[in-house]
Amino acid sequence: MPKLLLTTGGGDCPGLNAVIRAIVKSAHTKEWKVYGSKEAFTGILSQPIDLMELTPDIVAGIHVKGGTILKTTNKLNPLRFPVTNPDGTITLENRIPHLVEVLKSNGFDAVINIGGDGSQKISQAIHECGFPVIGVPKTIDNDLTATDYTFGFQTAVQTATECFDKLVSTAESHHRVMIMEVMGRDAGWIALHTAVAGGAEICLIPEIPYDIAKLVETIEKRYENGRGFVNIVVSEGAKPVAGNVTTQEQEAGSEHIRLGGVAYALSAALKKSGCQMEIRETVLGHIQRGGFPNAFDRVLSTWFGVKAFELLESGNFGKMVAFRNNQVVAVELSEATRIYRQVELDNDLLLAAKKMGIVFGD
pLDDT at 188 over 60: yes
Distances (CA, A) of 327 to 142, 147, 155: 17, 10, 20
Q: What are the E-state strand segments in the chain?
A: 3-8, 33-37, 51-54, 81-84, 90-93, 110-115, 133-137, 177-182, 202-204, 230-235, 279-283, 319-324, 327-332
pLDDT confidence band for 300 (50 / 70 / 90): very high
Cα–Cα distances in angstroms (integers) from residue 118 to residues 289, 337, 353, in the given order? 17, 8, 30
The CA radius of gyration of the chain, in Å to the nearest whole number, is 22
Beta carbons of 278 and 175 less than 8 angstroms apart = yes
- Residue 340 and residue 187: Cα distance in Å, rounded? 9
Q: What is the pLDDT of residue 142?
A: 95
Neighbours of 60 (CB within 10 A): 11
The Cα–Cα gap between 61 and 67 comes to: 13
CA distance 333 to 12: 21
Structural domains of the chain ordered from first start: 3-151+293-336 (3.40.50.450), 153-290 (3.40.50.460)
Mean pLDDT of 148-157: 96
- DSSP 3-state of 319: strand
- Any idea which residues carry the catalytic annotation? 141
When mean pLDDT is compared over 15-24, 81-90, 249-258, the highest value belongs to 15-24
**Cβ atoms 229, 178 nearer than 8 A:** yes
pLDDT digits (tens, 9 = 90+) for 197-253: 999 999 999 999 999 999 999 999 999 988 889 999 999 999 999 899 998 876 655
Q: Where are the alpha helices (DSSP H) in 199-318?
A: 212-224, 262-272, 295-313
First to last CA, the chain: 59
Cα dihedral 136→141→142→146 (10° resolution): -60
Task: Name the pLDDT band for 83 (thresholds 50, 70, 90).
Answer: confident
pLDDT tens for residues 305-338?
A: 999 999 999 999 999 999 999 999 999 999 988 8
Angle at which helices 189-198 and 348-355 cross, to 10°: 40
pLDDT of residue 253: 55
Predicted local confidence at residue 341, as pLDDT: 93
Helices H / strands E in the chain, number of each: 12, 13
The secondary structure of 83-145 as a DSSP string is: EE-TTS-EEEE--HHHHHHHHHHTT--EEEEEESHHHHHHHHHHHHTT--EEEEEB-TT--BT
pLDDT digit string (tens) for 90-143? 888 999 999 999 999 999 999 999 999 999 999 999 999 999 999 999 999 999
- Predicted structure pTM score: 0.93
